[in-house]
Amino acid sequence: MAAERPAEAAGLAAASMPSGLFSPEGPDLVVHADNASVLPGLPGGAFTMVYIDPPFNTGRVQKRQELSMVRNADGDRTGFSGQRYETVKGALHRYDDAFRDYWSFLEPRLMEAWRVLADDGTLYLHLDYREVHYAKVMLDAIFGRDCFLNEIIWAYDYGARTKRRWPTKHDNILVYVKDPSAYHFDSAEVDREPYMAPGLVTPEKRELGKLPTDVWWHTIVSPTGREKTGYPTQKPEGLVRRMVAASSRPGDWVLDFFAGSGTLGAVAQRLGRRFVCVDENPQAVEIMAGRLPSARVVKV
């Protein structure tokens, strides 16, 4: 796999995060900033797992720092068929204005996600059914098609049901690894599930439960439960716990640069991982400061 690539090649501005703020020996961090100014300051290869749950492209123009995509002809990687990727991207740009905005927002950040991942690292990108197909093309190009591991479907059962089409009750989580021959994945660390037809398996198997597949049935964060922080887009710890447990080891660093209420940090704290959580929204940072007592909170 490729060697480290300068952040500028991904189109992000040079780091404004003070160098040395992140140190593998330093404290967990909650960073209040636009992630575009934080990512280039993080060292390449430092994180075993990155989970991100960016705002969905709902047709609104995304609030974003202007970023220009600079392709580096001498760059050390082109992903799968750089040529075809540019063609697909051009066609999509012509087709959909809102998409152009979203693509230019997300693409350089995903390139940074690739850069900061360790060689045995894994990216989990949490999206919805409207964005996932575009993002799959983007990640095939950035990581390489052979680095695609899974598309996890998070199925839930909440809210109104339209009668005009099949009610949409799932999110999509794309999983990519930096190196398909060297990634860390420990299924033994994952909480198992009850069998759907327990009468058809042996008592031993029933007792042990079964390994989750790529379809995860999980309730949303309960509006009255202990886990609720009040942050509107908060994701359940149970979902993120599976990802962290399988794709990192105790003591490894994990990163969420669209962190919201800090679900990744909360799980990391409980499972003995180190974490960096970044969000630009002051309310998110306030919630994280209360939820993640092990972290140093910094504003960049």
Residues in touch with ligand SAM (CB under 6 A): 34-36, 53-55, 231, 233-235, 258, 260-261, 263, 278-281, 284
Contacts of 73 (CB under 8 A, 6+ apart): none
Our CB check for ligand SAM shows the closer of 87 and 233 to be 233
C-alpha span between 19 and 98 (Å, rounded): 35
Our CB check for ligand SAM shows the closer of 140 and 279 to be 279
CB of 228 to ligand SAM, least distance (A): 11
Our CB check for ligand SAM shows the closer of 190 and 300 to be 300
Could you give the C-alpha distances from 93 to 89, 122, 132, 162, 232, in angstroms and in order?
Answer: 6, 28, 16, 31, 30
CB of 195 to ligand SAM, least distance (A): 29
CB of 274 to ligand SAM, least distance (A): 18
Residues 254 and 47: beta-carbon distance below 8 Å: yes
CB of 212 to ligand SAM, least distance (A): 19
C-alpha span between 83 and 180 (Å, rounded): 23
- Chain residue at closest Cβ approach to ligand SAM: 260
Our CB check for ligand SAM shows the closer of 39 and 140 to be 39
Our CB check for ligand SAM shows the closer of 23 and 233 to be 233
Our CB check for ligand SAM shows the closer of 140 and 287 to be 287
CB of 143 to ligand SAM, least distance (A): 21
C-alpha span between 193 and 216 (Å, rounded): 10
Residues recorded for the chain? 300
Our CB check for ligand SAM shows the closer of 233 and 294 to be 233
Our CB check for ligand SAM shows the closer of 272 and 282 to be 282
CB of 127 to ligand SAM, least distance (A): 10
